[in-house]
Structure formats: structure tokens, C-alpha cells
């Protein structure tokens, strides 16, 4: 039942946002009573923190961190993620935005616990990309690249691109960012 509630809350927060998702709506969609919901999540905030820490963090790891770490280089990993996300958005035909960005925009000023949980995900994401750049540097690549700045630029570009794609309801901006993130002398993807 806990998983079902998390599934419903994750989908609702992504589609409508935290504030527009009432506990009553979440209980009805999950098919649970108030007592059952509160057994696992005593407050709506506790439910949102679980979504952030368990679902959103896992989505960032699956979509970004794991592919970048598994790639032959940080830049190749970044390119593959931008390409994969753009292709998925084009296939799906609509853009709901990045779950992390959506919640960060809505909740970062609302509560310090939300801000801290969201910041941890951004930090892990940034550190994973920077670590991959450092590994590339040990192999003689990316010598002129500052790992932290590159990671920050990639995340900021992706986050902004996803916001723009959500507003435009199309993925062109992701492909434009992909082309702009090419290393000097590399062919465009």
C-alpha cells in the first residue's frame, strides 16, 4: 500500500504540483483510507519528502547519474542523456517537465526541509558529473575543463531546457543545448 500511495503522489505532484494535490484526491486515487495513508505518511509533507527522497532521487540517478557514470566520457554521457530525453519527449508528444525542477520551483521557498531534500539531489547529480570529468582528466581528456563548472553548466542547461520545453510543449530546446555542449572540435550529435 505504501508503494501505491507513493506512485499516486509522484504522478499527481508531477502532473498538478504539490499544492494542487489534496490528500483527499491522493487517497481516492490510491484507494486508501485516511487512516491507512496516515499510517505510512503522517502528514502531506512527510509524503512529499518520501516522494522527493525515494522517487525523484531515483529518477535523477536512473536518467542522469547512472548513464553519465557508465558512458565512455562525461561529455558522451551528457550527450546521450540529452538525446534520450529529447527522443522520449518527442515520442510521448507532451512535456510535463523534470520532476526535480517542478518540485524545486514549487517547494524550495515553502519549507527548509523540502529545500534541503531537493538540494541533496542536485548536489549528488552535480558531484557525479564532476567526478566523471575528473576520471576523464585522469585519462588525459577534458584537460581544460573545470569539473564543477562543467557539471553546474550541464545541470543548469538541462533544467532550463526542460522548463522551456515544458512551456513550449516540445523538445527542440534540448536538442539545441545538446549541440551547444559539444567539445570544441567534436562533431554535433
How many Cα atoms occupy the beta-carbon half-sphere of 8 within 13 Å? 20
In-domain check, residue 33: no
- N- to C-terminal Cα distance for the chain? 44
The per-residue pLDDT for range 49-85, each reduced to its tens digit, is 999 999 999 999 999 999 999 999 999 999 999 999 9
- Residue 164's domain comprises 45-180
In-domain check, residue 16: no
State the average pLDDT over residues 85-95.
95
The radius of gyration of the chain from alpha carbons, rounded to an integer in Å, stands at 18
Nearest to residue 83, comparing CAs of 166, 167, 182, 183? 182
Residue with cell 532550463: 160
State the average pLDDT over residues 106-110.
94
Distances (CA, A) of 68 to 89, 119, 136, 166: 19, 20, 12, 23
Q: Check whether 188 has a pLDDT greater than 50.
A: no
d(CA 163, CA 60): 16
State the pLDDT at residue 183: 53
pTM listed for this prediction: 0.91
Contact 116, 130 (CB under 8 A): no
In-domain check, residue 93: yes
Burial 68-93 (b: 16+ CB within 10 A, else e): beebebbbbbbbbbbeebbeebeeee
CATH of the domain at 115: 1.10.357.10
In-domain check, residue 34: no
Question: Band of the pLDDT at 186, cuts 50, 70, 90?
Answer: low
In-domain check, residue 14: no
Q: What is the total count of domains within the chain?
A: 1
d(CA 178, CA 83): 7
In-domain check, residue 71: yes
In-domain check, residue 13: no
The per-residue pLDDT for range 148-180, each reduced to its tens digit, is 999 999 999 999 999 999 999 999 999 999 888
Q: Where are the alpha helices (DSSP H) in 31-146?
A: 34-40, 44-50, 57-60, 66-70, 74-92, 99-107, 112-138
d(CA 82, CA 158): 8
In-domain check, residue 25: no
Residues whose CB is less than 8 angstroms from the CB of residue 41 and which lie 6 or more positions away in sequence, other chains included: 5, 47, 50
Amino acid at each position: 500500500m505504501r508503494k501505491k500511495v507513493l506512485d499516486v503522489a509522484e504522478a499527481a505532484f508531477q502532473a498538478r504540483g504539490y499544492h494542487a494535490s489534496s490528500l483527499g484526491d491522493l487517497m481516492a486515487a490510491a484507494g486508501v483510507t485516511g487512516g491507512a495513508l496516515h499510517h505510512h505518511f503522517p502528514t502531506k509533507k512527510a509524503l512529499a519528502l518520501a516522494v522527493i527522497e525515494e522517487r525523484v532521487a531515483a529518477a535523477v540517478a536512473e536518467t542522469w547519474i547512472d548513464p553519465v557514470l557508465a558512458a565512455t566520457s562525461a561529455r558522451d554521457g551528457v550527450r546521450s542523456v540529452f538525446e534520450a530525453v529529447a527522443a522520449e519527449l518527442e515520442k510521448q508528444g507532451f512535456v510535463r517537465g523534470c520532476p526535480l525542477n517542478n518540485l524545486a520551483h514549487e517547494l524550495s521557498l515553502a519549507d527548509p526541509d523540502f529545500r534541503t531534500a531537493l538540494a541533496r539531489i542536485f548536489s549528488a547529480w552535480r558531484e557525479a558529473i564532476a567526478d566523471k570529468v575528473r576520471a576523464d582528466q585522469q585519462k588525459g581528456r577534458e584537460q581544460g575543463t573545470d569539473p564543477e563548472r562543467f557539471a553546474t553548466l550541464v545541470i543548469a542547461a538541462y533544467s532550463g531546457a526542460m522548463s522551456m520545453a515544458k512551456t513550449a510543449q516540445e523538445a527542440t530546446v534540448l536538442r539545441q543545448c545538446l549541440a551547444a555542449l559539444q567539445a570544441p572540435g567534436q562533431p554535433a550529435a
